[in-house]
Structure 1
Amino acid sequence: MRRGEAIAQLGGGPTLIRLFVAEEDINRVAKGQNVLISLNTYPDETFEAKVSQVFPAFDAQEQSFLIEAEFISRPERVMAGTQLQANIIVGQKAQALVIPTEYLLDGNQVALANQELRTIEVGLSNDRWTEVLAGLEATDELILKPAN
């Protein structure tokens, strides 16, 4: 051994991201899916990761299922325990018509600017966005809270 020569390397493995997934969503999550990560320490950046492990046991303490992901594009510095937000990409569609979920009335109706209530067919949905499969055109104007 010579002066200045490394004798050990610490933390050389991948940085694991532990995510808790709600019971109603776990069946849509699979190993290899892409994940978009926003770290509180890098608020203006999004990092890519992949699901590396889906644990089959329900975590009673967290009331959810545990999965792990590994960074594809890793930030320069990540501290253990950093808080984050993650979006697991469970499906993608090109040219999908989506509306804010809060515009839905009774699950499958929307209010148009002309006060018409219209029933639509919905597809994929989350707490922010809902895919519209039929019953609405991109040019239709919606209102959030109808008068009646």
Structure 2
Amino acid sequence: MERFEGGDRSQPAGILRSRRHPASCGDHLVRARLVMTEGLIAEGLGISPDEIHHSTRGRARSAEARQMVMYLAHVMLGLSLCEVGRRYRRDRSTVAHACRKWEDRRDDPYCDTFLTEVEQIVMGACRLRFNPTCGDKR
């Protein structure tokens, strides 16, 4: 595995890239799920997905979105606190704080419903499989 730390802002620093073909490992699926999660949460909070990756805290709404994404990356996708921290350029203790905060906020039915819907969409969409014979006339 090699770590991407380039100056290109299109990909966050700290993403692990496999030297193997993506089809031979689950890394591509985790990345796809993270991007989907970021997009859904950004849309739900009315911000740009790019704001989730700001190196500074940013607006309160951006920080809240980042915390939600970090929480879901850990609990839904099973990434370690360190892996999540690397992706979002935060210390693992910051990720742990976000996880505690959003775990507690799930007691609020509105927050729990929103996070549950994001989880269902992301995990459901990633189970889709293309059938190459789809549409063939026999």
Q: TM-score by structure 1 length?
A: 0.21
Q: TM-score by structure 2 length?
A: 0.22
Of Structure 1 and Structure 2, the greater helix share is in 2
Of Structure 1 and Structure 2, the greater strand share is in 1
Q: Which has the larger radius of gyration?
A: 1
